[in-house]
Amino acid sequence: MHRLIKTSLWLLALTLLIGGCAVKPILPTAPNDRAALAAAAHGDYATAAREYQLLAASQQLPPAARQRFRIEAAAALLRNNQPQMAVTELQGIDESQLVPVDVLRMHLLGAQAWLALHNADQTLMLLSQPLPADAPTAMQSRYHLLRAQALSRLGNHLEAAHEYSMRDPLLSETAAITANQQQLWNELTQLSAPALHAARVTLPLNEFSGWLALAEIGKQYQLGRSDLQKLIAQWHTNYPNHPAQQPFIDGILQRSAQLLLRPKQIALLLPLSGRFAAAGAALRDGVLAAYYNTAADRRIDIRIYNVANPDTVQATYDQAVHDGADFVIGPLSKESVAALLSNRTQFPTPTLVLNTVDTGKLPDNVYQFSLAPESEAKQVAEHAWQLGYSKAAVLVPDGDWGARIEQAFRDRWQSLGGVVTSEATYDSSKNDYSVPLRALLNIDLSRAREQRLESVLGEKLAFQPRRRKDIDFVFLAAFPRQARLIRPQLKFHHAADLPILATSHVYSGVYSPTQDRDMDGIVFGDMPWVLNPATQHDALRTETHSLQLADNSLQRLVAMGIDAYDLIPVLRVLQTYPFERFHGETGLLQLDSDGRLHRQLTWARFALGVPRVIETATAPSVAVPAANAPAADMPATDADTASPTP
């Protein structure tokens, strides 16, 4: 009788349970529950999950109790870094047996698992329903946090910031509020000033529009301290009770007062003769275009020096400093940059070199900016991982250029947890890539099986070759001529359904839908200057394209020159605030602690022969390129190409 009463009380308490998101007891007196709790307390979440699964399988418990134990098992699996198994556990739960708050907890755990599996879309799908009015505060906080993280991974920084804003009043501890506001601010710093303004003017004077307004003020890098103080005073008037903590406001003023670089004379060290003359001229034209596009009272004087020979770079650099340069842009070629950095340890003048060299940490006062193809390959790996892919096939051209890109992609892909299941190289001078494609897709093995069967059976078989199925996507390194041939040949070899991700090199930059139609479906990363989304230099881009500056095939270097000039005032701001971004023509730029600028590419997909920007809803001002919009030509980027490059 005593046991019957005790069991009845246990079942009654179990049906009244409201769970949280952590692994915690459902009832301390449940059969075998103590074993699960003890295992979890010692960090043995695998054992805890098994114990909860045994409870969930017990036919002696009512259905609702068994479903709740499955939730506990999924929570333990997540704590044990087994998100896929957690998803499987959750998918077997009968929601009809649960009260709304338990359904919410199940969805929160599922969202967390899918986020760990790099599937932000599935995360948002699980959290697409509004929160129940009586949802516990902790669950509401978790809901907004997971949505913010998923939106951020999809590049929707505006909506991610909004989720953090909605989470803010749900927090009570000072440390948690500070961390949440920092995440909110990090998302907003990735938006341009025009994007912040466009989003803000559509909102009433509420808490979130206050965040947008404050971030917009923070983007006014060129303003002096007194002008910024006036803007912040007006902000306080418009948002008198805003929860933004003082450090965000102080940081805006500090940037203007202490960090902005304001040189009087720039030395431009570029190769204007010899092998890299065309590249040097394109970059020079970009710098000059930015100079003339700047208000007259804020222009920085420019002196140009020809550095065609790496042996002269040291003497030329010293001459430029002697002539009064208090900022140096260049040199450009890899050899000249290496010669400058290897023979000098101190740089009294801030210097922005324009190529990548492997020197470890850069000397103080030196910054590095380049359009390195290896960097693009790493971003393709990151983008593929964010899309939820895990198994890659790699197709690159023979030679040093292809090997460098393949290695950069592989290193980053494997560091993320991805697997390269297949790889092949091709001769870029040929038109028929059947041999490397068959090797990449294991078509030859399929044909070999056919031949063995025909030999055994002694008759001809109707046989359809099949490609290997352990490939999520193909990473392609190719220039336009090769890419236009490879895409249809992949279709011919039974891989029409395979996604293809590529670097900017697949696109010539020239609007050519007839030639590029065969590349439909290829996704690639490129710079805003080429893809034509709205930027601060729209008019300048049109002008430089119409003037055919330097050589239309080098327009990406024109964009690099524009960014090199516009970056000067804010380099130390970017260095001091790691989450700050500069919205440039070459991409979204971030400076790491070693002084190297990293570009975040814009992603596009070929459709009807035209690259269409893949919208991420990061800001209302981002536009898809018009179907008839001309674009810039593509510069050569390596000695393997037709034109010499630095």
CATH of the domain at 75: 1.25.40.10
591 within a domain of the structure (yes/no): no
Q: Tell me, what's the pLDDT at 248?
A: 83
- What span, in angstroms and rounded, lies between the C-alpha atoms of 361 and 344? 14
- Asked whether residue 292 falls in the same domain as residue 277, the answer is yes
Contact 499/472 with Cβ under 8 angstroms? yes
H helix runs in 348-417, sequence order: 373-386, 400-416
Per residue in 110-127, pLDDT (tens digit) is 999 999 998 999 999 999
Is the same domain home to 363 and 485? no
Is 226 within a domain? yes
The DSSP output letter for 598 is E
Phi, psi of 476, deg, nearest 5: -115, 125
Judged by average pLDDT, the poorest of 12-26, 154-168, 358-372, 557-571 is: 12-26
- How high is the pLDDT of residue 561? 95
Question: According to the model, what pLDDT value does residue 464 have?
Answer: 55
Residue 603: enclosing H or E segment and its boundaries? strand 602-607
> Alpha-carbon distance 393 to 569, whole Å?
42
Q: Which residues pair with 597 in a beta bridge?
A: 591
User: Of 454 and 620, which is predicted with more confidence?
Assistant: 454
Residue 37 and residue 75 in one domain: yes
Is the pLDDT at 646 greater than 60? The verdict is: no
Q: How confident is the model at residue 32 (pLDDT cuts 50, 70, 90)?
A: low
How do residues 331-346 score in pLDDT, each as one tens digit?
Answer: 999 999 999 998 888 8
**Which of helix, strand or coil describes residue 350?**
coil
Q: Is the pLDDT of residue 359 over 80?
A: no
Tell me which long-range contacts 237-241 makes (C-beta under 8 A, separation of at least 24): 238/205, 238/210, 238/213, 239/205, 239/207, 239/209, 239/210, 239/213
What is the per-residue pLDDT across 434-446, written as a single tens digit (0 to 9) for each?
A: 999 988 998 655 4
Task: Give the integer Cα–Cα distance in Å for 556 and 633.
Answer: 8
Phi, psi (rounded to 5 degrees) for 268: -110, 105
pLDDT bracket for residue 133 (50, 70, 90)? confident
Residue range 550-570: mean pLDDT, rounded: 84
| Close Cβ partners of 409 (under 8 Å, ≥ 6 residues apart) | 377, 378, 380, 381, 392, 394, 475, 477
Residue 530 lies in a domain: no
Any idea which of 39-48, 251-260, 447-456, 460-469 has the lowest mean pLDDT?
Answer: 447-456
- Total structural domains within the chain: 4
Identify which has the larger pLDDT, 536 or 641.
536
Whole-number pLDDT of residue 509:
85
What's the pLDDT at 643?
A: 32
Tell me the pLDDT tens digit for each residue of 510-548. Answer: 888 999 999 999 999 999 998 876 666 666 666 666 544
- The partner residues of 265 in beta bridges, in order of sequence, read 301
Answer yes or no: is 540 within a domain.
no
What CATH code is carried by the domain that includes residue 344?
3.40.50.2300
Assess whether 60 and 141 both reside in one domain. Answer: yes
Percent of the chain with pLDDT over 70: 82
Residues 326 and 202 in one domain: no
> Is 140 in the same domain as 41?
yes
Whose tokens are 């940059």? That residue is 337
Q: Is 144 within 8 Å of 168 (Cβ atoms)?
A: no
pLDDT confidence band for 63 (50 / 70 / 90): confident
Choose the final residue of a domain: 458, 482, 498.
498
Q: Which of 566, 571, 639 is CA-nearest to residue 362?
A: 571
Tell me: do 166 and 250 sit in the same domain: no
Q: Which residues contact 29 (CB under 8 A, 6 or more apart)?
A: 6, 10
Residue ending a domain, among 160, 183, 206, is 183
State residue 632's pLDDT score.
29
The tens digit of pLDDT for each residue in 413-438 reads 999 999 999 999 999 999 999 999 98
Please list, in sequence order, all residues whose beta carbon lies within 8 angstroms of the beta carbon of residue 20, skipping any fewer than 6 positions away. 105, 136, 138, 139
Alpha-carbon distances, residue 318 vs 64, 126, 349, 353, 559 (angstroms): 79, 61, 10, 15, 27
Residue 572 in any domain: the answer is: no
Q: Indicate the pLDDT class of residue 634, thresholds 50, 70 and 90.
A: very low
Which pLDDT belongs to residue 543?
A: 64
Percent of the chain with pLDDT over 90: 54
Q: Does 630 reside within a domain?
A: no
CA distance 452 to 12: 66
* Cβ contact 450:478 at 8 Å: no
- The answer, yes or no, to whether residue 25 has pLDDT greater than 50, is no
Nearest-CA neighbor of 500 among 489, 510, 511?
Answer: 489
Q: Higher confidence at residue 453 or residue 347?
A: 347
Q: What is the CATH number of the domain that holds 450?
A: 3.40.50
Residue 378 included in any domain: no
Residue, of 151 and 26, whose pLDDT is higher: 151
pLDDT of residue 24: 43
Q: Which domain holds residue 147?
A: 2-183
User: Are residue 317 and residue 403 in the same domain, yes or no?
Assistant: no
Residue 176 has pLDDT above 80, yes or no: yes
Q: Which of 26-30, 93-97, 387-391 has the lowest mean pLDDT?
A: 26-30
Of 498, 523, 539, which one is at a domain's C-terminal end?
Answer: 498
* pLDDT single digits (tens) 256-312: 656 677 899 999 999 999 999 999 999 999 999 999 988 888 899 999 999 999 999
Kind and range of the H or E run holding 425: strand 419-426
**What pLDDT is attached to residue 22?**
42
Whether 278 and 241 map to the same domain: the answer is: no
Q: 3-state DSSP call for residue 387?
A: coil
Domain shared by 111 and 254, yes or no? no
Question: Do 296 and 211 share a structural domain?
Answer: no
Q: Is residue 546 part of a domain?
A: no
**Is-contact 643 556, C-beta < 8 A?**
no
Contact assessment for residue 105 and residue 71, using Cβ atoms and an 8 Å cutoff: yes
d(C-alpha 536, C-alpha 539), whole Å = 8
| 119 and 159 part of one domain | yes
Lowest mean pLDDT among 203-212, 453-462, 589-598: 453-462
